[in-house]
Amino acid sequence: MKKIKLSILLTGIVGASIYIFSNIDILYRKTNVASFLSLEQKTFLKNYIFPQIKINQEVEQKAQSLKKLNEMRFYLAQLELIKKNSGTDIETAKSNFDLKEVTNSKLDNSNLEKYMLTSGFYSGIHSDFPGSGYIDFHKNDMIIVSSRGLLAFSKNFPSKKYIFKQIKNNIDQFINLKQFKKSNHFSIKDLLIFKKNIYISYTEEITNDCWNTSIIYGQINYKNINFQKLFASKKCIHSTKNLDNEFVPHQSGGRMIPFDDSNIVFSVGDYRSRYLAQDLNSINGKLIKINLNNKKYKIISIGHRNPQGLYLDTENNFILETEHGPMGGDEINLLKEIKTNKDNIYNFGWPTSSAGEHYGGKTKENKKKYEKYPLYKSHLDHGFLEPVKSFVPSIGISEIVKVGKNNYVVSSLKDKSLYFFVLKDNGSIQIINKIKIGERIRDLVFKKNNLYMFLEDTASIGILKIN
């Protein structure tokens, strides 16, 4: 009988404890006990006696903050598309900056002209506000596209009026508010003007919550451009149902450059499904050459993480490619003899080799990740091509262009700078000048001794004259 009574008593205590602790937040808030306690006593109880109260409150606060943040992002995307649908002009506000005041510039002329876009560019890729964008030229006219598909041109930019006129388009048939609502990382990825056509790359939702990077194109027309699909993969990376349980749409690549009269080169990131970079049955983590006539593609290089910049040097017969590394290890890679290399596929080693580390470093939590993706510091020892330059720590590397014989410049997002360098005959790089611009540089074009930049901290067009 004693054992039965004891068993009933213990069961009652356990049951009451479960009930109390499962409802402790409600009990604590609704009872009058809290009103008799000092602030220090309440804090002690929350932190040590009833920690679930604090945890519940923090979770609730974070959920509310995230909800408000997503609502704001969606509102900004809506605002940008309202501007797009209005068809009204985008004015700019001009300002000048003497870069010699903020950097030890070796340029003869280090005066930066900035033309801030005063409307329309509201929704960013990295930051929520202001908007991001990409630039290119059609003859002497600058074409600009926002991360949400607002498309515009400016005659002989910069002209006296400093105005961009909108071009009506159907980009929202391919990426729209449905995708922007899911994340501001889903966006336009690049803009290319080639011959009579305009090409735009973007993160495409191939099937529900399953993504890859695609290209649309249309004939240049300053009134209305009707885009159609040029390239899309049948395979995609699901945002939750993927092999490594990681998904980062920032790692989507999307850069495009002309290769010859019939082909363009297109970069595609791994979306953090790292293993795809070495899988020849996938376009992810690759540079591919797309035939504009039959729309077929060929892989020209593998082992890339997130390719951000491309430049074809026709004079020297090579491609320079830049890509974001993991925690450290941004790269500049060289594809030699690219025009004459018809069958060999260049392999740059990701995710086996990298100068960087997995986020968080070599911790217990990352043990399995390092077993699968070791990130050896040598590329060559494991049968891969070495980068001609690795940046540790990372600079947030972006576009790359040529500014003179064997002279190039690469831009950065995180470091907000330009790096001018010489590529030597032995394939090594000598950094000759770093210029702090002070804004994230999303895109870069060199034309008639002027370096044009899209600066996304203020949604501005920057112009730096190169003598």
Q: 7 and 135, same structural domain?
A: no
Same domain, 20 and 129: no
What is the token pair recorded at 165?
């006129």
Check pLDDT > 50 for residue 230. yes
Is the distance from CB of 121 to CB of 80 less than 8 angstroms? yes
Residue 54 lies in a domain: no
Q: Is residue 289 domain-shared with residue 418, that is, in the same domain?
A: yes
459, 117 in Cβ contact below 8 A?
Answer: yes
Q: Check whether residue 122 and residue 42 sit in a common domain.
A: no
One domain, residues 392 and 446: yes
Tell me if 68 is assigned to some domain.
no
CATH number reported for the structural domain that contains residue 146 in this entry: 2.120.10.30
Q: What is the pLDDT of residues 331-384, one digit of tens each?
A: 999 999 998 988 899 999 999 999 999 999 999 999 999 999 999 999 999 999
Q: Is there a domain that residue 207 lies in? A: yes
**In terms of domains, do 45 and 97 share one?**
no
Q: What is the pLDDT of residue 27?
A: 43
Residues 264 and 365 in one domain: yes
Which domain covers residue 19, as residue numbers? 2-49
> For position 281, what pLDDT does the model report?
97
Strand order in the sheet with 306-313: 306-313, 318-324, 330-335, 389-391
Same domain for 225 and 368: yes
Q: Are residues 290 and 402 in the same domain?
A: yes
Query: Phi/psi of residue 435, each to 5°?
Result: -120, 120
Q: For the chain, how many structural domains are there in total?
A: 2
Domain contains 384 = yes
21: confidence class by pLDDT, cuts 50, 70, 90: very low
pLDDT tens for residues 142-178? 999 999 999 999 998 887 677 999 999 999 999 999 9
* Same structural domain, 20 and 150: no
In a domain, 144, yes or no: yes
Q: Which residue has the tokens 């030229």?
A: 137
Q: Does 351 fall in a domain?
A: yes
pTM assigned to the model: 0.85
Q: How far apart are CA 235 and CA 237, in angstroms?
A: 7
**Do 284 and 407 share a domain, yes or no?**
yes
Q: Are 461 and 115 in contact (CB under 8 A)?
A: yes
Is 84 part of a structural domain of the chain?
no
Band (35; pLDDT cuts 50, 70, 90): low
79 in any annotated domain:
no
